[in-house]
Every structure is written in C-alpha cells, then in structure tokens.
Structure 1
Amino acid sequence: MPLPFNFPDLASLDLFRSVVELGSVSRAAEAHGIAQPSASSRIRTLEGRLGLRLLDRSPTGSRPTPDGQLISDWATELLRYADTLAAGVASLKAEQSGLLRLAASYTIAEYLLPPWLERFLADRPDDSVTLEVTNSRAVLDRLEAGAIDLGFVELPTVPVSLDQQAVATDELVPVVAPRHPWASRASVDLTELATTPMVLRERGSGTREALEALLTSVGLDAPQSALDLGSISAVRIAVINGSSPTVISRLAVADDIANGRLVELNVPGLQINRTLRAVWPRRSELSRLAAALLATLPTGA
C-alpha cells in the first residue's frame, strides 16, 4: 500500500522528536544546525500535513500534546529503522569502494593495530581503512549506530548482542616516576594505592573499568583521580613528568620500564590480565574486508 501524499518527511519527524526530547524548538534547532525560524516553520508544516496540533508552546519551552506524544513515540520507532537503513547503505557503499571502517580503543589502536593493518593492506592496493581512536564504550556506541564495520575493545565483558574474537592479551601494571617515594619500596599495599590520587584514563575506558572492577572485587572503593586523561599516551607522559602513580597497560610502558623512565611497583593483590577483542554485531554478516582482516589476526585469549 503506497504512503499517503501528505505523509511527513523523516527530517521533520526527526526535528519534532528532538523538540520533544529537548523541551524547546530553539534547542532542537541548535541540535540540528538550523535557524529557529526555520525549525518553527518545519514544525508548523508537519502539524499542517498531519492535521494535528503537536505542541503546546509557552515562553518557557514546548511540550507535546497528547497527540504529539503519540506521534513522537511512533516517530522514534520509525526513525530507528531509518537509522538502520542509513547505516546499511553506508556499509554497502564502503564495501563497494573497498573501504573498511574500524574503531579501536587507545591501547589497541596505538600499540597493536598499526602493524596488523600494514600487513593486511600490503597486498591490497585497491582497499583502504579508516580508523577511529576512542575509548571502548564509544567503540560499542559506534557499532550500535552502524557507523563502523568492526570494533576493537579492552572491556572485561561485551554485550551479548555482539560477536567477538580474542586478538591479544594484556596486563595492567602499577608504575611511578623514578623520583616517587614508592619507587624504592619493596612493595606498596593495595589499599594505599587505591586511596592515593592517580592519573587515570577517562570514564568509559577499558583500562579504568578493569581497575575499578578489581578494587570493587576486594571491597575497595573506586580509585581516586588526580587527573583524568583521554589517551593512554597522555597518561604515560603525565606520570613520567609528574608525581602521581597510575595503573596502565604493559604494552604502553614496557620500554619505559626497561629504560628506567618508569618504575613498576610490587603491589600484592593487584593482578589484572585482560583479553583484547574484536567485536561486531551478531545480527549482521561481517563485510568482506572485516572478515578478511579477522582471518589475519592472532587469536590470543
């Protein structure tokens, strides 16, 4: 059955949904990058097409009418399918153009993926890769949105909606700069470490979540933060040049420990070994390039 001639366009429904979620036309207009008069005009056109009043407007904002709330709920479901369609089209276009879209957590992106991708592309002159570097939680969000073909994360667990392949193992180690008072100690108590402000990765990173999980498992509070940083390299440099400890991937600091720029601490009870994983949506078939890349990677569990 064909849609009626006055069926609203998806962009107007998306704008209306934003008005309902944000509580005002002006905030929705800003979120969509359009002028407020244009947004107001589009909402009035939408009401005209539907023959319904969708919003109660006031100087303090806009609230959906009962009919408007129903339309917003239905539009949300419709737009979810539209998002899936858009992501699928983008994936097909990327596949046809020989583009593999990846996102990876910082540890994997900085210390493992470069040689893997160099080998993978060595005999593929017509193919290319884009790589987004972000924290593990954001990688999962990108997968959910259909914006990437394959993700790499360092989380202790991944959602059941994802398939996974272990590609490496890693260990988190406590370190300080050589001038730190702990550097000369035979050992540091785990409670003392946990209650001392540390340089930490931002929330959502696999490194931070693994440390928090370990401390929680032995009845300790989450670590105190002296400084939150958005990359593993930034954490490493801050500890080398500062006065706070951290717990960090051995992959990132092995050379620093060997060369004396950092000192690994002996903290009884602090043992965090983790599996680094490639992940992709279980409901989706892997793209040709994603499957080919996975076939070249180690299966390190």
Structure 2
Amino acid sequence: MAFNVHQLHIFYTVAERGTFSAAAQTLHMTQPAVTMQVQALEEHFGTKLLNRSTKKLELTEAGHWLLPQARKAIDLMRETDALMARFIEDLKGRLVFAASLTFGEYVLPRLLGSFLRKYPDVAVNMKVMNTTEIIDAIGSQGLDFGIIEAPCEVPGFDAEAVMNDELLLVVPSSHPFASRDEVELAEVILEPMVLREKGSGTRQIMEEELSRHGVKESQLKIVSEFGSTGAVKSAVEAGLGLSIISKWTVKHEVALGLLKTLRIKDVSFIRQFYAVRLQSSLLPTPAAALLHDLRELTHE
C-alpha cells in the first residue's frame, strides 16, 4: 500500500505534540484514527517509527530519519496552498482564527468586506486576544492560525510576515501641524504627547525608532498614557496632545476630518503583522485564501 502526505502530516504532528491525544486535538481527528494512520505508515515502511513503551512517545532511529522528510512534505503542501490560493473561485467553509488588538479591531474589519464579497460562502470566526493567549489557543482550542504584531519564537510554532503596518504622527485637525504633510523630529519632541501604555507593541515600536534617532523617552513631553488605542484617539481629538499610532486605527477619524496623520522627516515607524501557526499544521483553504489577500495588500 502506498503512503500519502496526509499520513506524513499525522506522523509529524504526533512527533511534535508528543502524544496521540494531543495530535488528535490539533488535527481535529479521533485518537484511534490518528493511531491507525501512524500504524499504516509503519506497515508501509516495515519498521517502527515510534516507541510507545514510555509515557511520552519517542522516535525510533527510523522515525528520526523520516521526521525531516515529513516536514519537507508539509512545507511543500503549504507552498502549494499559498500558490493556488489566488485561483480559488468557489470557496466554502469555516475560518477560525485569532488576532491581536490592532489587527483584530481596526485592520481586519476593513478587509473582510472585500474578502467575503469574493467568497460569500465562507463563515469567519475571529477572536481578539493578546499574543500569549493566541499561542495558547492555537495549541489547545484548535484555532487555524493567529495574527500577531511581533515575530514568534515559541518552539513548535512558525511565524510568517504577511502584512506591513506603519505608525504615523496623529494630530487634531485644529493643530498647526495639520496643514503640513511632514514635520521635523525636533518639532515633535516639543509637543505634549498622548501615548499607549508601556509594554504595548505600538509603544515599543515608537521607542525603538526614536532611540535610533537619539531621542530618549525622558525627552518626550508625555502628558497621558492609555491602555487602548480608542482612548488615545479620543485624547488627541480633544486636544490633550499628539500621538504616534497605527495608520489603520485612525482611517475613520481622518476621513471625517477629525484627525490628521503626517510623517516625521527621516523617521520611519514600520512593523509587520505575522501569521503564526503550529509547525505541524496545514491551513484549511479559506485560511490560505485570506493570508494570500493580506500578502497582496502589502505588495500593492
């Protein structure tokens, strides 16, 4: 009997997750079904791939040799899915994933309209969580993937940059800067600032870039710090100070003429959104299609 990529995927997942039950949860299969597929693979090769005599499964010598080949097969399937996603016409299914605050509340809602008009039979279920919660949910709740705002270095997970984000200086429409498209950094540090709280991804990107230009946090006139982007926007609109936040978060206020975005000369606050998933996972077709659309937006 010939073996197939599906069996290699199951074997790899069992090896990575350490138990048949954990692999079954990740693969949305029953434990007996997972066991049967691994046994079929062992019968095909005529050798044991896993030692089951200990509490935690261990690879045999043959299993160690097969593991990197299984990973290559999974990578090839992923590349194929990503390549063919652009040709999908009649897409159906359920898309279950999680996203960080900025992406989940401000970016995705603006993108889903065109995606769902193109694929009206896809049902989307997105949860908004922080990065730690997203990693946990992918491993324990069966989420297809997550979108986070920083590279993921957690063992067993892969992260792929899928979309760019840019932080811009945001000012009230009544501010003198509002008539300009660009200001000097020396001008900005003289202004009162309203910022996200310490430890937020937005604050971290801002501090790192300003530090690269020789500006310390102590040089900024920080008058308020808030734990949400919505509060920051309201404070800027009320004239409490200026801020540096994602361009995606202020599109509505800019369109209404309440706020104005502009760049700081020679300063660039660029970051990326990352799609994170288990190394052993293969994305369902709706997920591959959505990530393809995100990549296309970055290259427009």
Q: TM-score, structure 2 length as denominator?
A: 0.55
1:246 Cα deviation from its structure 2 partner: 0.7
SS in structure 2 at match of 1:243: coil
Q: What residue in structure 2 maps to residue 65 of structure 1?
A: none
1:13-162 maps to which residues of 2 (within 5 A)?
85=21, 89=25, 92=28, 99-114=94-109, 116-118=111-113, 120-121=115-116, 123=119, 125=121, 128-136=123-131, 138-143=133-138, 148-155=143-150, 157-159=151-153, 161=155, 162=157
Structure 1 residues 209, 136: CA separation in 2 closer, same or farther (over 3 Å shift)? farther
Q: What residue in structure 1 maps to residue 84 of structure 2?
A: none
Q: What residue in structure 1 maps to residue 278 of structure 2?
A: 281
1:194 Cα deviation from its structure 2 partner: 5.2
1-structure distance, mates of 2:262, 2:256: 15
2-structure distance, mates of 1:259, 1:118: 20
CA contact (8 A) 2:107 2:249 kept: no
1:110 Cα deviation from its structure 2 partner: 3.2
CA contact (8 A) 2:192 2:240 kept: no
2-structure distance, mates of 1:287, 1:221: 45
1:213 Cα deviation from its structure 2 partner: 1.7
Q: Of the two, which has the highest radius of gyration?
A: 1
CA contact (8 A) 1:137 1:204 kept: no
Q: Which amino acid aligns with 1:226?
A: S
1:214 Cα deviation from its structure 2 partner: 0.8
Q: What residue in structure 2 maps to residue 226 of structure 1?
A: 224
SS in structure 1 at match of 2:28: helix
1:157-196 maps to which residues of 2 (within 5 A)?
157-159=151-153, 161=155, 162-180=157-175, 183=178, 189-190=184-185, 193=188
1:99 Cα deviation from its structure 2 partner: 4.3
Gaps of 5+ in 1: 1-79
Q: Deviations over 1:34-69 (max 9, x none)?
A: xxxxxxxxxxxxxxxxxxxxxxxxxxxxxxxxxxxx
Q: What residue in structure 2 maps to residue 216 of structure 1?
A: 211
Structure 1 residues 252-261 or 180-189, which shifts more? 180-189
The percent of aligned pairs where both chains have the same amino acid is: 36
CA contact (8 A) 1:104 1:131 kept: yes
Q: Which amino acid aligns with 2:249?
A: A
Structure 1 residues 195, 296: CA separation in 2 closer, same or farther (over 3 Å shift)? same
Q: Deviations over 1:70-122 (max 9, x none)?
A: xxxxxxxxxx968x9568527617xxxx6432111233223432354455556
Q: Deviations over 1:149-171 (max 9, x none)?
A: 2111233x332754344433232
Q: Which amino acid aligns with 1:89?
A: Q
Q: Which has the higher contact order (CA 8 A, sep 6+)?
A: 2
Q: Deviations over 1:188-234 (max 9, x none)?
A: 5536645866333345543222112212323333464612222x333
Q: What residue in structure 1 maps to residue 265 of structure 2?
A: 268
2-structure distance, mates of 1:218, 1:113: 32
Structure 1 residues 268, 133: CA separation in 2 closer, same or farther (over 3 Å shift)? same
Structure 1 residues 239-248 or 265-274, which shifts more? 265-274
SS in structure 1 at match of 2:127: strand
Aligned alpha-carbon RMSD (Å) = 3.9
CA contact (8 A) 1:171 1:274 kept: yes
Q: TM-score, structure 1 length as denominator?
A: 0.55
Structure 1 residues 205, 88: CA separation in 2 closer, same or farther (over 3 Å shift)? farther
Q: Which amino acid aligns with 1:92?
A: H
1:245-264 maps to which residues of 2 (within 5 A)?
245-257=242-254, 259-264=256-261
Q: What residue in structure 1 maps to residue 14 of structure 2?
A: none
2-structure distance, mates of 1:268, 1:210: 17
